[in-house]
Amino acid sequence: MRGFFGPLEFENAFSPVGGTLVTANKLPEHPRVETKGVLQWTGYELNLVDLKFRWDYMHTDPAGQVATAMEILATHEPYPLVTVTEIKGTIYGMPYGGGDVFENEYVMSEFSIDVQHTDHSGRLTCVEATAHLIEVVQDGGIGGIGFGGGGFIGAIGGFISGLFG
């Protein structure tokens, strides 16, 4: 997968070694007296994305990539998650001719690193990292219209085509 999450860019050489998308339904339970409760579908939960990276000195600057990810985490701002595939698409209904797929905006909730190797001076030469992202749906205000989302099918299709497209 190639693409970017805000200022964090990734390419095939040091792309995410794994990715997970969790899309879920909201199913609150309504209890009833002397019988089992009833489930009611009320919409979708926010999508959760985990991106697992392996950064090594031959393809990128591991310390620089970690610093960029830590900066994204510290700002707690939403950034677009864009993957590059062969599929052409739209961003907020506007067509574009590139191979980028706008997944949605996400905020990084957690970032973890696992140092694999350092050189003799202690400089990072290989790092495995995981970025946990939570979908951000912008509220339209008065009408309560949510921009983004795309629902269950759109989320799964876009994410899978981004990983394997």
How does pLDDT run across 49-74, given as a tens digit for each residue?
Answer: 888 888 888 888 889 999 999 999 99
Structure tokens at 27: 């199913």
Q: Is 157 a member of any domain?
A: yes
Q: Is 33 a member of any domain?
A: no
Q: Is 60 a member of any domain?
A: yes
User: What's the confidence (pLDDT) of residue 164?
Assistant: 44
User: What's the confidence (pLDDT) of residue 140?
Assistant: 52
31 vs 138, higher pLDDT: 31
Residue 40 · residue 104 · CB < 8 Å: no
90 vs 145, higher pLDDT: 90
- The three-state secondary structure class of 69 is helix
What average pLDDT score do residues 112-126 get?
A: 89
User: What's the confidence (pLDDT) of residue 15?
Assistant: 60
Could you say which DSSP state residue 47 is in?
A: P
User: What's the confidence (pLDDT) of residue 7?
Assistant: 85
Q: Is 137 a member of any domain?
A: yes
Structure tokens at 114: 């696992």
Residue 88 · residue 97 · CB < 8 Å: yes
Q: Is 58 a member of any domain?
A: yes
Total domain count for the chain? Answer: 1
User: What's the confidence (pLDDT) of residue 99?
Assistant: 58
The model's confidence at residue 6, banded by pLDDT at 50, 70 and 90, is confident
Q: Is 140 a member of any domain?
A: yes
Provide the residue range defining the domain that includes 135: 2-28+39-164
Q: Is 34 a member of any domain?
A: no
Q: How high is the mean pLDDT of the chain?
A: 76
162 vs 5, higher pLDDT: 5
Q: Is 153 a member of any domain?
A: yes
Phi and psi at 21, nearest 5°, equal -120, 130
User: What's the confidence (pLDDT) of residue 162?
Assistant: 53
